[in-house]
Amino acid sequence: AGNLFELFHIEDDYARTLQRQVPLAHGGNIVIEQTEALVSIDVNTGPKVHGKDQAKIILETNLDACHEIAKQLRLRDIGGLIIIDFIDMDDKGNQQTLYEHMQKLMSHDRAKHNVLPLSKFGLMQITRQRVRPAVEMDVMETCPTCMGKGKIQSSILFTDKITEEIEAYKQHFGRGLRLHLHPYIYAYVSKGWIKSLTSKWRLKYGVHTIENQSLGMLETKFYNRKGVQLTLPTAEEQNKATEKQK
């Protein structure tokens, strides 16, 4: 017997629930953005559409999008306010066809919902009651490196920060330290060999750099020659040490 998941394309449907951009059956795609206040869905065509059949192709793409949107709302169990930005259509008849088609597709949804006609800006509003926690909450988590912002500190600023850390550790523990870095960062600071930052750090501070796959992208760890991890004392610990010396 074959795999039932493959037979009924369940794996493909599940994979799409984890994607921000979902392809449509006959070209084009929808982009799903979830925010605290609402969910926005943007409908896009595939290759640029020109010619006398443009209106027909746009309608077909929008109708395709209705099928995928109705499915994704159920699979992801998206609730609350949903705003759909369909491809613009000037024909009032086509707009009504699209609205009725979405109503028909949503009639199979057991969750309480309400579908409103297209606004003058081509937007459709749907409200839907969530049955269970949204899929994104179950399978997604905030990136520990960028903290969900999608951006990290520039390379120049980060290497300056590492240099400052090296100076602080060298001042406290002396030379001969081992600096562990993420492989990507290690590759960046090793560029150029003779003129690389690793060479500069080794000559000036006596620090040897080592790549460590277990570290986060912007994480650093310092060790002594015996392999013991080092940490700098806190300001409070430094104050106590100063008072004892007095």
Rounded distance between C-alpha atoms, residue 202 and residue 207, angstroms: 5
Rounded distance between C-alpha atoms, residue 62 and residue 89, angstroms: 9
The predicted model gives 224-232 an average pLDDT of 92
Model-level pTM?
0.53
**Mean pLDDT value across the chain:** 83
For residue 187, what pLDDT is reported?
Answer: 87
Contact 81, 37 (CB under 8 A): yes
Rounded distance between C-alpha atoms, residue 179 and residue 120, angstroms: 60
Burial 118-130 (b: 16+ CB within 10 A, else e): beeebebebebee
Rounded distance between C-alpha atoms, residue 216 and residue 232, angstroms: 19
Mean pLDDT highest for which of 13-17, 46-50, 225-229?
Answer: 225-229
Which of the pair, 54 or 204, is modelled with greater confidence?
Answer: 204
The percentage of residues in the chain with a pLDDT greater than 90, rounded to a whole number, is 42
- Judge whether residue 58 has pLDDT over 50: yes
For residue 241, what pLDDT is reported?
Answer: 67
State the DSSP code for 150.
S
Q: Which of 39-48, 92-101, 123-132, 142-151 has the lowest mean pLDDT?
A: 142-151
Amino acid identity for residue 77 in this structure: D
For residue 228, what pLDDT is reported?
Answer: 93
Cα 152–chain centre separation: 13
Which of the pair, 240 or 62, is modelled with greater confidence?
Answer: 62
Q: What is the pLDDT of residues 11-29, one digit of tens each?
A: 666 666 677 888 888 888 9
The predicted model gives 47-69 an average pLDDT of 82
Rounded distance between C-alpha atoms, residue 130 and residue 180, angstroms: 46
Distances in Å between the Cα of 129 and the Cα atoms of 14, 15, 53, 80, 110 are 21, 23, 38, 6, 10
DSSP, collapsed to helix, strand or coil, labels residue 22 as strand
HEC string for 41-63: EEEECCCCCCCCCHHHHHHHHHH
- Judge whether residue 50 has pLDDT over 60: no
Cα 29–chain centre separation: 18
